[in-house]
Structure formats: C-alpha cells, structure tokens
Amino acid sequence: MKVVIGCDHAGLDLKKEIIDSLTKDQHEVIDCGTYTSESVDYPDIAEGLALKVLDEKILGILICGTGIGVAIAANKIPGIRAALCQNNYGARLAREHNDANILAIGSRITAAAMAIEIVNTFLNTGFQAGRHLRRVEKINMLEKKCRERG
Ligand code: RB5
C-alpha cells in the first residue's frame, strides 16, 4: 500500500521507527518531512501531508508531540478526517466508522511498539459504509455549509 507520513521535530524519532516497520512490510512510504530535529510548526507539516492524502487518495500518518496539533490542523482542510488514536480499538473504529484518512499519533504519549500496532490496525482496516456512510456524508455537508457561509 502507498502511504504518506509526516511529523514535526517532536515526532521525528517515532516517524523513523514507523517508516522502518512499514518498509519492512513492503509498503511504499512517501515521507513529507520534517527531516531534521530543527523546530518546525506542525500546521505546515499537516497541510503538506493532507494535500498529498487528497491528491493521491491514500492514507496518511501524522505525528507531533501529542498528535493533537497535527490533527486539529489537518481537520481544517475539507475532505480530511484525521483521527488521533492512542489504541488499536480507536484506530479500527476510526477507519470502520469514520472513514478516517489520516491517523494522528503523539510521540510523547504513545510508545513506538504501540504506535506501530496502531498504524498497522489503521492501514489494514476498511470503511464499513452502511449507516456510517450517511454520517460521513453529513460531515461533508457540514464542510459545504461552512464554505457557503463564507
Ligand atoms: C512541539 O513542542 C509540540 O507543541 C507539538 O509537537 C505538538 O504536540 C502540538 O500539538
């Protein structure tokens, strides 16, 4: 599977571990930064990754210290459904119920081994549609209403 991953400076080490694991599992990984430990602003990283998710119609993984900042920023972009997950149950339901297209993880909250499990669950779970489709469509309608409100 092709997936895109990005992090701020706080998520750099965890990103490297996740990339290693994904590469071992034969996934094609696009790394959209950051690439050094120099401080960067997480909204910039979230923006670049979210646009890649939308353009390529692939799943994305975003990492910052808590996962909160990148999730908030990514969710400002229409079409993005970013879910901050701290366990496998949340990761599974984020895909099955919410059709989340970005997984957000906090490197200061979630240990690497757990984060890798969460990533695998997220990538290996599909959207269940059915009653959940109506709800996701309502999220899309919310975006449309806000755009029209100006
Ligand atoms: C950076 O120190 C930190 O604020 C950032 O990684 C993130 O946790 C923000 O939500």
Number of domains forming the structure of the chain: 1
Residue 71 CA to ligand 1 centre (angstroms): 11
Residues comprising the chain, all counted: 150
pLDDT, one tens digit for every residue, the chain (150 residues): 999 999 999 999 999 999 999 999 999 999 999 999 999 999 999 999 999 999 999 999 999 999 999 999 999 999 999 999 999 999 999 999 999 999 999 999 999 999 999 999 999 999 999 999 999 999 999 999 999 998
Active site residue 7: no
Separation between Cα atoms, residue 43 and residue 46, nearest integer Å: 5
CATH of the domain at 111: 3.40.1400.10
- Going by alpha carbons, the residue nearest to atom 8 of ligand 1 is 65
Give dist(CA 1, CA 23) in Å, integer: 10
Is 85 a catalytic site residue? no
Show the domain range for 51: 2-149
What is the pTM for the complete model shown?
0.98
Q: Which one is catalytic: 32, 64, 85, 132?
A: 64
